Amino acid sequence: MNNASKPVYLKLRDIISESILDGEYAEGDMLPSVRAFAVEQGANPLTVAKAYQGFQEDGLVTVKRGVGMFVASGAKAKLRDAQRADFIKNVWPPVERQMKRLNIKLDELLENNS
Query: What is the smallest separation between the CB atom of 38 and DNA, expressed in angstroms?
Result: 8
Q: Contact at 8 Å (CB) between 21 and 15?
A: no
The Cα 53–Cα 23 span in angstroms is 21
Residue 58 binding partner per list a second copy, DNA, none, with a CB distance cut-off of 5 to 8 Å that depends on partner kind: none
Residues 14-53, one symbol each (x = binds a second copy by CB under 8 A, - = not), give ----x--xx-------------------------------
Scored b (16 or more CB within 10 A) or e, 71-103 reads: bbeebbeebeeeeeeeeeeeeeeeeeeeeeeee
The Cα 85–Cα 77 span in angstroms is 12
Q: Is 67 in the site for a second copy (CB under 8 A)?
A: no
Interacting residues with a second copy (CB under 8 A): 1-3, 6, 18, 21-22, 80, 83-84, 87-88, 90-92, 94-96, 98-99, 101-102, 104, 106, 108-109, 113
